[in-house]
Amino acid sequence: MSQIVGKIEGFDVHYVPEKDILFCKNTAIKRSILSDFFYGGVDRISIPQKNIVLYKDNSVISLGCLTLSHSDAEDILNKTKNGKNYSSEY
C-alpha cells in the first residue's frame, strides 16, 4: 500500500514500502537509488532501464522531468527511512 510522503512541483510523492519505490507524476525510482544519489558524491546518474537521468546542482535535484530542492529530497528520504512514513501531514 502506498503512502503520500511529500510533494514535488505540486504532485503527490507516493512511497511503496513493500517495493522501496518512490513514485511521482509518471516517474518511479527506488528510494535507495535516490538516497545513494542524494548522499553520494556524484552530480549525475543515469537509470537506463527507466530512461531517467538524475542531476544534482547546488540547491536542486532534477529527477527526470521533475525538480525538487535538496531540503524537500532530504525530507522525503527521512520520512521513508526503514520503510515507514514518519509524517501524517500529507
- Note down the domain range covering 43: 3-83
pLDDT (tens digit per residue) in 10-32: 999 999 999 999 999 989 999 99
pLDDT (tens digit per residue) in 30-73: 999 999 999 988 899 999 988 899 999 888 999 888 999 999 99
Is 44 contained in some domain? yes
pTM of the shown model: 0.82
Is 89 contained in some domain? no
Is 68 contained in some domain? yes
Contact at 8 Å (CB) between 25 and 61? no
Measured on CA atoms in the order 22, 64, 38, 60, is the torsion positive or negative?
A: negative
